[in-house]
Amino acid sequence: MFFLYAPHPLTVAAIGTLLTGSFIYVALGWWKLRQSRQELERINKCLPPRGVYRNLEPFIAFDMILSLLSAAKNKKLLQWFNGHFQTYGPTFVVQTIPKYAIHTTEAENIKTAYSLKFDDWSVRPARQSFKHLMNGSTFMSDGAAWSHSRGILRPMFVKDRITDLELYEAHFQKLLKLIPEDGSTFDISALFHRYAFDVSSEFLFGESLDSLGSPTDAKVQLAHDIELTIQDAADRFRKSLLYRWLRRPGVDQAVSNVLSSTTRYAQEALDRAVEDQKHARGEHKATRPYSFLDEMARQTQDLERMSHEATSLMFAGKDTTAGLLGSMWYLFARHPEVWDKLLAEVDQLEGAPPTYEWVKNAKYLRYCEHEAMRLYPVTPILPPRVANKNTVLPLGGGKDGKSPLFVPKGTALIVHIYSANRRQEIYGKDAEEFKPERWEDLRPGWAYTPFGGGPRICVGQQFALTEVYYLTVRLMQHFRRIECRDSRPFIEDLAGVILSPDGGVQVGLYPA
């Protein structure tokens, strides 16, 4: 029987040659990689990392994941990382057998990855949880595709586009009606979220979702679905392997409504662009408020791309802006001396609404925002970048952590803004305190990057800041006194990916 099934000697020889050839090919590839790695390490004088977080279970770092989950459950995730930076120094490595991740607070490392060696790092591999919503957006792209989309986006955020203060004023008037005038306690951060929602939707779609007014049922549903979709994207990112079993009910329908609604808004903008071309050019600008999608329709007819870009901007801009307002007002409520000083600056306007130039030049207002963003940065941990080739970071290697660090292809780099902003070497011994005055002569450069940095710096930064400054001034012109109604210390809430105080910002406000 055996004889019947024995392979022909030529077949055996062919298989043998194939196997040996493959082995040599793989071995040569591995040897070449090792050589180039050693060469890179030698040229750059790389040393092994100073801080290494070692896992007992070295494959998926199960012990670290459990420890992180427990810290997150106790609302101490940021403190957990902060503690590890105290132990290991400003850069540490988490090693598992398949790959490793670098956590850093070091300005030079951030500058290198975000600017000097920008091309060595990609964002897309770590943003897969957003793919179903914004696959073609700037936020998701790398390389030439990113340059192209960012180029389309840029003109929409230039000065004349973001100085439409009427947009902010109209929604401020609606917000004002919802604030109790008798000093009774309310959560001002919840109103900031609705305000940012309405401003963003009007800016993006040309139509506000009107969450501060009397929205239609369809708008209420869309607002609900956008919130659910944002939470779901955060779940996908955090729970990765377990996500399938831990999905929130109604997610599929919510995602589908968000996508079909943004597609409808995009289609309407394209139709208007066609109408405009038929009539005098740019006619709609006189009759309609400026909309991001209208502007985009002048540059592309790609419906999916427009819908994905608008969705990504809604995600990137809404909670972040509300989060910054929340941090500032959380701190104002606890620092009456800062409130009084800012009030004096605001009073220079003698009650008139501020102009764009005024908010840009209001120094103390800017210091307050910088200081709030320093202590409670809206995005306390930036989304990871992944090395697309072997590369080097300037710091983190050697016994003192001052030597360059070799970074193998596939390594994730995670920048910790929250911990970077508390480094005593940069901010002094009082780094934990709220002192806007420190910004009079503080220039931390790459040590302070709440909006990211380099070519991918937040495209909406000026839009967000104008919105935040304008609303703060207008509220302070109306309400002259603030009282804190929550004596608990700051407890982190990272329910989305945005940092806010647990329990909101409970205050009482009094008009003049």
What are the residues facing 479 on neighbouring strands?
Answer: 511
Instruction: Mention every residue, 6+ apart, whose C-beta is less than 8 A from residue 388.
Output: 120, 121, 122, 142, 409
At 478, list the tokens.
């109306």
Min CB(316)–ligand HEM separation in Å: 4
Residue 489 is classified by DSSP as P
3-state SS assignment for residue 109: helix
Annotated binding site for heme: 458
- Residues 251 and 224 sit within 8 Å (Cβ to Cβ): no
- Find the shortest distance in angstroms from Cβ 289 to ligand HEM: 15
Distance CA 256, CA 250 (A): 10
Q: What's the CA gap between 439 and 4, in Å, rounded? A: 87
> Which residues would be at the binding site for ligand HEM (CB under 6 A)?
138-139, 150, 313, 316-317, 320-321, 324, 378-379, 382-383, 450-452, 456, 458-460, 463-464
Q: How far apart are the C-alpha atoms of 169 and 199, rounded to whole Å?
A: 10
Q: What are the φ/ψ torsions at residue 35 (nearest 5 degrees)?
A: -60, -45
**In angstroms, how far is CA 509 from the centroid of its own chain?**
31
DSSP β-ladder status, 403-407 and 385-387:
unpaired
Residue with tokens 């420190």: 438
Pairwise CA distance, residues 219 & 221, whole Å: 5
Smallest gap from Cβ 313 to ligand HEM, in A, equals 4
**Least separation, in Å, of the C-beta of 412 and ligand HEM?**
12
Query: Minimum distance from CB of 57 to ligand HEM (Å)?
Result: 29
Task: Find the residue with minimal CB distance to ligand HEM.
Answer: 460
**CB of 297: closest distance to ligand HEM in angstroms?**
17
